[in-house]
């Protein structure tokens, strides 16, 4: 069972400071301001090969004050999740809907996809798979307040997501995407450098996850990511989601991840048999 107390402690740690996390270990390589605080605007570090070093713990830049209320309404912004641990206002604006930049009804969703989603909602499907202890989908992981950690080597990146303890590999050794990869929760990823930007291609996703907002996708989904560490504490990201089966055209979103220095990600487990989903949906057990 997923405990609300855990969510409260986790976000409280994120919102206050790195010292409120379970670990506060000052890294001697972290540049400091004159007052001794981490200098997030300092020059981005580089690897021995001269590439930008993307390593570190990263958390999404929260929505601007009032943005969630403006986009989704006060009822959502101040609803049951507007508490420490699940405060929607601290998420990225795409957390609730990947297509929030489109006018209602103009989202690039195929008619047959809309019909299928309507059937699922009528059948009572909850769009957030983690309520059933299933893994989060991509790119939803980037919009959640819970951070992720990157380990970078010359031939691959390992990305560990605090949400449900998932990890993925991004192969940067020159290999191509498999023609017909085995469907997986996290897909199969390859990457290459374009100047100081890491361009990542991913395919081979199963169709069990949902895009932000509960939108379905097929196993034909293809995701492209661009990682650009513009300075020590900021990584600008661009994500493009393409699925010719469910979408009429690719959708691209841009956002920023903020470095969380001198700390680490937390353990996160979601055990089978949890009972939060029914309570959140207002259903009886």
Main-chain dihedrals φ then ψ at residue 227, nearest 5 degrees? -105, 120
> Containing H/E element for 116?
helix 111-122
Residue for token digits 């001269």?
Answer: 50
- Establish if 170 belongs to a structural domain: yes
For the purposes of burial, counting CB atoms within 10 Å of the CB of 174, is it exposed (0-12), middle (13-18) or buried (19 or more)? exposed
The closest alpha carbon to 269, from 139, 126, 185, 166, belongs to: 166
Instruction: Specify the number of domains making up the chain.
Output: 1
CA distance 236 to 256: 5
User: Are 139 and 159 within 8 A, CB to CB?
Assistant: no
CA distance 109 to 208: 18
User: Are 248 and 255 within 8 A, CB to CB?
Assistant: no
Alpha-carbon dihedral of residues 268, 117, 67, 197, nearest 10 degrees?
Answer: 70
Tokens coding 21: 């996390």
- What range does the domain containing 227 cover? 4-25+46-280
CA distance 87 to 195: 37
- Establish if 35 belongs to a structural domain: no
CA distance 23 to 17: 11
- Establish if 30 belongs to a structural domain: no
State the pLDDT at residue 267: 86
- Establish if 40 belongs to a structural domain: no
- Establish if 246 belongs to a structural domain: yes
State the pLDDT at residue 46: 97
Please, what is the Cα angle at 145 between 244 and 139, to 5 degrees? Answer: 10
- Establish if 207 belongs to a structural domain: yes
Which parts of the chain sit beneath pLDDT 50?
Answer: 1-21, 130, 283-285
State the pLDDT at residue 14: 39
Per DSSP (E only), the strands in 61-155 are 148-152
User: Are 152 and 55 within 8 A, CB to CB?
Assistant: yes
- pTM confidence score: 0.85
CA distance 221 to 251: 12
User: Are 263 and 21 within 8 A, CB to CB?
Assistant: yes
Helices then strands, each counted (H, E), the chain: 5, 9
State the pLDDT at residue 136: 87
- Establish if 37 belongs to a structural domain: no
Three-state secondary-structure class, residue 210: coil
State the pLDDT at residue 134: 80
- Establish if 124 belongs to a structural domain: yes
């Amino acid at each position: 069972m997923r405990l609300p107390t855990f969510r409260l402690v986790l976000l409280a740690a994120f919102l206050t400071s790195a010292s409120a996390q379970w670990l506060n270990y000052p890294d001697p390589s972290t540049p400091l301001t004159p007052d001794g605080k981490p200098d997030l605007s300092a020059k981005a570090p580089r690897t021995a090969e001269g590439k930008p070093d993307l390593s570190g713990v990263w958390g999404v830049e929260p929505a601007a004050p009032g943005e969630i209320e403006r986009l989704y309404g006060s009822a959502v912004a101040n609803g049951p999740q507007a508490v420490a641990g699940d405060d929607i206002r601290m998420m990225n604006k795409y957390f609730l809907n990947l297509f929030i930049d489109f006018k209602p009804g103009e989202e690039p969703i195929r008619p047959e996809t809309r019909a299928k989603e309507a059937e699922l909602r009528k059948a009572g499907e909850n769009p957030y798979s983690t309520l059933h202890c299933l893994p989060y989908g991509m790119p939803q992981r980037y919009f959640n307040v819970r951070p992720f950690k990157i380990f970078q080597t010359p031939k691959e990146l390992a990305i560990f997501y605090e949400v449900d303890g998932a990890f993925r590999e991004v192969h940067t050794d020159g290999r191509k995407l498999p023609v017909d990869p085995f469907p997986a929760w996290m897909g199969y990823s390859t990457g290459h450098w374009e100047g100081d930007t890491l361009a990542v291609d991913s395919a081979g996703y199963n169709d069990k996850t949902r895009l932000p907002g509960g939108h379905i996708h097929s196993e034909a989904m293809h995701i492209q990511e661009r990682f650009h560490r513009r300075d020590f504490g900021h990584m600008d990201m661009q994500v493009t989601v393409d699925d010719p089966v469910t979408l009429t055209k690719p959708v691209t979103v841009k956002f920023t991840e903020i470095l969380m220095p001198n700390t680490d990600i937390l353990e996160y487990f979601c055990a089978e048999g949890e009972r939060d989903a029914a309570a959140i949906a207002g259903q009886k057990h």
